[in-house]
Amino acid sequence: MSQQNTNTEMQAELTRPGSLNGGTDARALYLKLFSGEMFKGFQNNTIARDLVMRRTLKGGKSLQFIYTGRTSAEYHTPGNSILGNSDGAPPVAEKTITCDDLLISSAFVYELDEVLSHYDLRSEISRKIGYALAEKYDRLIFRAIAKGARQASPVSKTNFVEPGGTQVQVGSGTGSFADAYSASNLVDAFFDAAAALDEKGVSQDGRVGILNPRQYYALVREVGDNALINRDVQGNAKQSGEGVVSIAGIKIYKSMNLPFNNHYGMDFGNMASSDSDPGNRGSFVGADLERATSEETGGNHYGEITDGDDSGTTVEGQFNNSCGLIFQREGAGCVEAIAPQVQVTSGDVSVIYQGDVILGRLAMGADFLNPAACVELHATSTAPAAFGTTYPANQ
């Protein structure tokens, strides 16, 4: 091993250009290079937009959807004129989805900060604004589906009433919320829901299920070998967490925007005993459902429940026991007057304020369409109650 001379009289006095005022940290002044990556924060997969009926709204405040019920058949009596069924069938009803006020998310970027910054600030802010709008989009649609699962059909003519929504308990007996995380209970619930959809005449095309991540991974981990995993990808399906293809023809998605026991996506107070709270969840993971706002002028968003006076007091329990959704694409609809988009100021505005406003905007409304195509899963023996038809009374 080589020897180093440690005689202080022979040791050179080094100039350390990275030291701050001769301090002990020899690298204090060296540049901290930007890696080109930033922690993206909590990002949800937004999935609902392409899973329901979506229409563009132009030249009006709302969009009308028409329902036609069934009619009857009868034998013809020779000599009788045929002038239409005497019962006036088929019955016709309507559903109107109204566009809410403009939903926005924005940030002001000071030009000097951009000059001094060594990373791309605008693209990251734009991305986060897009996430905020997309998250809201999913939540509005999922709440509308849960509402539809608790409603009767708009076609209500005597003797021609069409099927309404369905609620399926996950588990059996008196039940507890731990049943919501049982893979075998979830599989049974999916088959029950599929049978109910069949019995109510709902198309098999476009059926999907939405679960929270813990439920989804429980299916992959515990019952993945029972025909839930596509055999073509079975080798790595359990490790990737993407192996669940479908149950009873219902394609499965996971989302943290699902109304789940009065929270979004997760209720950490009622997890399965085998799971643990991840901790350090921040302000958004498993957040409570927000209250309604007066900007939701259409009264479509029954998931945001108030006490009727718009004081901001949330009525508790509207989504207690709710633990998943199964639906076909006709179960809910959304109307878009302005699709999600990002705008940036320029010109004189930028000169006056020496910076730019980055604005994300969205104008849409969502509500249930065909209740028969909506199924809500609930974890205990008490199914969530239907919402009032006059909500919100003062908006």
What are the φ and ψ backbone dihedral angles of 155, each rounded to 5 degrees?
Answer: -85, 105
Q: Which residue has the higher pLDDT, 278 or 363?
A: 363
Q: Which residue has the higher pLDDT, 89 or 162?
A: 162
pLDDT number for residue 297 = 44
CA 250 vs CA 48, 186, 340, 347: distances in Å: 15, 12, 28, 51
Provide the pairing of β-strand 355-368 with 332-344. antiparallel
State yes or no: pLDDT of 167 exceeds 80: yes
pLDDT digits (tens, 9 = 90+) for 280-325: 777 777 676 665 454 444 444 444 444 333 344 344 567 888 999 9
**For the chain, which domains are there?**
48-69+89-274+288-378 (3.30.2400.10)
pLDDT number for residue 224 = 55
CB 98 within 8 A of CB 297: yes
Coil/strand/helix, residue 252: strand
pLDDT digits (tens, 9 = 90+) for 50-64: 899 888 888 888 888
What would the mean pLDDT of 322-330 be, rounded to a whole number?
Answer: 94
Read off the pTM.
Answer: 0.81
Buried b (16+ CB within 10 A) or exposed e, 159-180: ebebbbbbbbbbbeeebebbbb
State yes or no: pLDDT of 84 exceeds 70: yes
CB 328 within 8 A of CB 100: no
What would the mean pLDDT of 64-75 be, rounded to a whole number?
Answer: 84
State yes or no: pLDDT of 383 exceeds 60: yes
The secondary structure of 136-184 as a DSSP string is HHHHHHHHHHHHHTTS--S---TT-PPP--EEEESSSTT--GGGGG-HH
pLDDT digits (tens, 9 = 90+) for 222-231: 765 555 655 4
State yes or no: pLDDT of 93 exceeds 70: yes
State yes or no: pLDDT of 244 exceeds 90: no
> What average pLDDT is seen over the chain?
78
